[in-house]
Structures are given as C-alpha cells and as structure tokens.
C-alpha cells in the first residue's frame, strides 16, 4: 500500500514537472531583443544564468535629483551607434562581484555598486519591464546581459549550444 502511494505520488510530481517545463521556451546563449525606449532598437543579448541581474552597457552615467528622488542620466552603449541620452529613475543599487579585469585600485576590489533602472525589453515578441544595472560594457561583445531574474520572468530555458532561437519581434 505504501509503495503504491509513493509511486503514484512520484508519477504525479513527474507529470506536474513536465507540464511546467512545457510552458517554458528554449533559447540560445545569445538572442536578439528589442529596446522600445530606444526606437525599438534591436540588440544582441547574452543570456547568463550565472548572473542574477541584467546589465545594459552605458556611458556618461550621472546622478541627479528629480522630485526628491534619485535619477540617472546615461548614454546607452551599443557599438558603432550614437544613441540619445536617456534619463531613468534609479530603483535601487546593485552590488556586483568585481571581475579581475574590472578592478580599479581606488575602489573596493570585491564589489562594484551599480544603479538599477527599469527598462522595457522585448523578448520573443513580448515586452517585459526588466531591472537592468548600468555599467560600461565596452570590453564585452554584447551590450545587454540578461540575468537569471529576467530569464525566470521570461520563462526562458537556456541551451548554450544554441544561438538566436527567438523569432518574434514586438510591433510598436
């Protein structure tokens, strides 16, 4: 009796897991996404399950106060494009583990503090409000990194052997 109950419960949980997995889509390590706030600009993004937060390349990052709240003015950084300056409210600051090649002697060698803003990202035809931290990504191949928090929201499973699986685009 106990064995049959245990087996039934096991099959039920397995079936439930299969249904849940079927609701998710498989994407490659690199995908094309669109950023509606920048004229629906299409950019290559790296899907990184090892990073918690998403990161957008930005330069000329300057903080200011607006209506008593902290805001940031920045220039989105996409290679070979001269993009307009953007302003976004800072929703929080993230503490990111510093890579060896990011260390500046005057800074804390363990973590860097980055502003986090909300940015709409079009991923596979759906627009998602996404938290992204802002940092200089000029040494990286991809201007946008999508971290695990965003990937969970996007219901994305990443297969690193694949690239550019997303076909749908947002029509604005």
Report the candidate in 49, 71, 76 with the shortest Cα–Cα distance to residue 135: 76
In a domain, 18, yes or no: no
Which stretch of DSSP H or E encloses residue 43?
strand 41-47
Looking at the domain assignment, is residue 37 inside a domain? yes
* Percent of all residues in the chain with a pLDDT value above 90, rounded to a whole number: 65
- φ, ψ dihedrals at 40, nearest 5°: 60, 35
Would 141 be classed as within a structural domain?
yes
Predicted local distance difference test score (pLDDT) of residue 36: 95
Q: Whose CA is closest to 149, among 83, 52, 68, 73? A: 52
In a domain, 16, yes or no: no
Which carries the bigger pLDDT value, residue 104 or residue 34? 34
Domain CATH code at residue 95 = 2.40.70.10
Domain that holds residue 100: 26-159
Report the pLDDT value the prediction gives residue 168, as an integer from 0 to 100: 78
4 is a domain residue: no
pLDDT at 91 over 90: yes
pLDDT digits (tens, 9 = 90+) for 92-118: 999 877 665 554 444 556 668 899 999
DSSP-derived secondary structure for 70-131: EEEEEEE--TT--PPPEEEE--EEEEEEPPGGG--TTS-SSEEEEEEEEEEEEETTEEEEEE
Residue 81 or 11, more confident: 81
- Please check whether residue 5 lies inside any domain of the structure: no
Strands 144-146 and 41-47: parallel
Separation of alpha carbons 101 and 104, rounded Å:
9
């Amino acid at each position: 009796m106990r064995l049959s109950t245990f087996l039934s419960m096991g099959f039920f949980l397995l079936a439930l897991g299969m249904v849940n997995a079927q609701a998710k889509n498989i994407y490659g390590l690199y995908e094309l996404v669109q950023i509606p706030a920048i004229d629906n600009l299409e950019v290559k993004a790296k899907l990184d399950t090892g990073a918690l937060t998403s990161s957008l390349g930005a330069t000329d990052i300057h903080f200011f106060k607006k209506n008593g709240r902290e805001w940031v003015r920045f220039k989105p950084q996409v290679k070979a494009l001269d993009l307009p300056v953007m302003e976004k409210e800072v929703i929080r600051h993230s503490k990111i583990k510093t890579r060896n090649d990011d260390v500046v002697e005057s800074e804390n060698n363990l973590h860097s503090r980055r502003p986090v803003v909300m940015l709409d990202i079009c991923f596979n035809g759906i627009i998602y409000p996404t938290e992204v931290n802002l940092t200089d990504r000029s040494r990286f191949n991809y201007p946008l990194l999508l971290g695990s928090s965003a990937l969970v929201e996007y219901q994305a499973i990443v297969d690193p052997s694949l690239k550019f699986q997303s076909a749908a685009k947002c029509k604005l």
